[in-house]
Amino acid sequence: MKSVPQTLFVISVIIAVVIAFSAGFYTKSSLGSPEDTLVVGTSTPFPPFEFKNEAGEVVGFDIDLAREVANALGLDLEIRDLSGPVIGFDALIPTLGSGGVDMIAAGMSINSERTEYVDFSIPYYDANQGILVRRDSLFSCPSSVCEAEHLEGVKIIIQIGTTSQSWVESNLPGIITDPNRRLATDEIIQVSDLDLIIKLLLEGEADVAILDEPAAEGFAKQDIANLRVAGRLITDEQYGLVVQKGDPQNLLPTINEVITELMRSGRYDELIAKWFQ
């Protein structure tokens, strides 16, 4: 039988390992990323920008873009995918802030709330919000352009920490009542995992999912038998790559050069064709 001190030692080692691993989501050094690696945070699934292919690898437009940036910096690329029911898209900015990743490539819209905490590259993609429904849904908007009034009495599901959530908060006031933003009400379900959003939508737990239109189209393409995009909310968003506030690693000049050169050379259109065919 083990002595009490020995058992205590084993327990404290286990606790230390658990803490080290959970901290690994937030700090780069604890996972031992070498200096010659650009660690890029993303959040799957968000097709076609980032999603897992059949082999389980994270691929997509954003990942190719991140690879171009890593190449230009002469660094290896490591993708850190923050996705799941607990740590999701909304953990990306805090993780960047604490140095857990060097850059975010996650279809992240440039906006003033975020620029208080992070710096963005020049824009690389334009998007609106989309309304994803079950294929047999009767939900519709005139000419596919939806307004707040069309969503009255409709049960909505959104991803936490996104501009979809901000749209709901500013356009359907009173709907989001939970301060932690994780409670479902009669009108809304808020979760951090887009896989779960699609599952709940298909199961009829919500009538519509509000998410970026290109990703809504991406999901509809993956499950054309059961999903369709019923309309859009005009939000005029632009995606940027994201670095720490003040750009302490001086990445932005190269990132912006890469985006400019991709667009100038026609390589950008090739990537669009590759991922959006």
244 interacts with ligand ARG by CB under 6 A = no
216 interacts with ligand ARG by CB under 6 A = no
Picking from 186, 190, 183, the residue whose alpha carbon sits closest to that of residue 209 is: 190
Q: Judged by CB under 6 A, which stretch of 103-111, 185-193, 199-207, 224-232 contacts ligand ARG?
A: 103-111
Which residue shows structure tokens 């991406």?
218
Report how many residues bind ligand ARG under the rule CB under 6 A: 13
How far apart are alpha carbons 41 and 250 in whole angstroms?
17
In the set 69, 96, 101, 106, which binds ligand ARG (CB under 6 A)? 106
User: Least CB distance from residue 159 to ligand ARG, whole Å?
Assistant: 6
Phi, psi (rounded to 5 degrees) for 192: -95, -5
64 interacts with ligand ARG by CB under 6 A = no
89 interacts with ligand ARG by CB under 6 A = yes
Site string for ligand ARG, 168-207 (x = CB under 6 A): --------------------------x-------------
CA angle 173/179/183 to nearest 5° reads 85
268 interacts with ligand ARG by CB under 6 A = no
In the set 25, 26, 46, 268, which binds ligand ARG (CB under 6 A)? 46
In the chain, which ranges are continuous DSSP H helix?
4-23, 61-73, 92-97, 112-115, 163-171, 194-202, 213-222, 252-265, 267-276
Longest CA span, the chain: 74
Tell me whether residue 30 or residue 67 sits nearer to ligand ARG (CB atom): 67
Radius of gyration of the chain (CA): 20
Give the footprint of ligand ARG on residues 109-138 (CB under 6 A): 109
Which residue shows structure tokens 């709901």?
168
Which residue shows structure tokens 């049960």?
155
What is the binding site for ligand ARG (CB under 6 A)?
43, 46, 50, 89, 106-109, 162-163, 194, 212, 237
